[in-house]
């Protein structure tokens, strides 16, 4: 992890604001949140966002009296709070129920190709990708749909892919009471493909291997499942 320090309010460790965004640097495992982030209700947040987004549209020169645009600020506000950034609010965190591993299945369980949509915290443009999750039971198992819900919860916030990978892994380790967890994410960043270098051919892969998955044979087995099965 890169240790970043604020410098003159304009950058970190000598990096400019543009460098931080284009190089996808991030400051820690936790999503940066204000302490009073939830002092106002979701409805009040929507009202404020709608007002501020209408100001942005005005600055851009758009005519908010047009039938097509008049409701856009409210639609954007609702989308931000109820949908694409809903993972910021802890009340939306999925409730995870564990079950005894009565099948005595002690090999890796792999849930692959979990599609997710997130947003780059540097430019607020989409990150579109797939997550692959594996774990080895320590005596408890979790419903398969909950694996998808964990991915979606952490994806639905402004993100950096490295942080997203680690947040999913740490949540699974805590929930499953095991270090034997692996997370692989393969994603396309629209901040790379639609702006900046405008390269639409690349994707970014990040991995987390914990416990038994630090073994090269286990990694190869997992990658084989993801690639061929």
Cα first-last separation, the chain:
33
Q: DSSP of 161-172, one letter per residue? A: HHHHHHHHHHHH
- Phi, psi of 17, rounded to the nearest 5 degrees: -60, -40
Rounded Cα–Cα distance for residues 186 and 165 (Å): 10
Taking a C-beta distance cutoff of 8 angstroms, is the pair 111, 147 a contact? yes
Tokens standing for 20?
């931080």
Rounded Cα–Cα distance for residues 111 and 133 (Å): 5
Catalytic residues: 120-123, 161, 189, 191
Rounded Cα–Cα distance for residues 171 and 96 (Å): 10
């Amino acid at each position: 992890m890169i240790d970043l320090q604020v410098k003159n309010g304009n950058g970190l460790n000598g990096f400019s604001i543009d460098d931080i965004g284009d190089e996808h640097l991030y400051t820690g495992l936790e999503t940066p949140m204000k302490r009073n982030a939830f002092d106002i209700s979701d409805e009040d947040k929507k009202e404020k966002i709608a007002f501020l987004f209408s100001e942005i549209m005005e600055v851009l020169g758009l005519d908010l009296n047009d039938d097509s645009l008049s409701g856009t600020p409210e639609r954007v506000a609702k989308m931000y709070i109820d949908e694409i950034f809903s993972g910021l609010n802890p009340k939306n965190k999925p409730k995870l129920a564990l079950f005894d591993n009565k099948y005595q299945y002690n090999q890796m369980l792999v849930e692959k190709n979990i599609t997710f949509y997130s947003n780059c915290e540097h430019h607020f443009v989409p990150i579109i990708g797939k997550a692959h999750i594996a774990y080895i039971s320590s005596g408890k198992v979790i419903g398969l749909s909950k694996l998808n819900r964990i991915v979606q919860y952490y994806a639905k916030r402004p993100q950096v892919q490295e942080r997203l990978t680690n947040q999913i892994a740490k949540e699974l380790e805590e929930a499953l009471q095991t270090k034997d967890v692996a997370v692989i994410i393969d994603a396309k960043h629209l901040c790379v493909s639609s702006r900046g270098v405008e390269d639409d051919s690349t994707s970014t892969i990040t991995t987390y291997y914990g416990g038994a998955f630090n073994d090269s044979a286990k990694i190869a087995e997992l990658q084989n499942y993801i690639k061929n099965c």
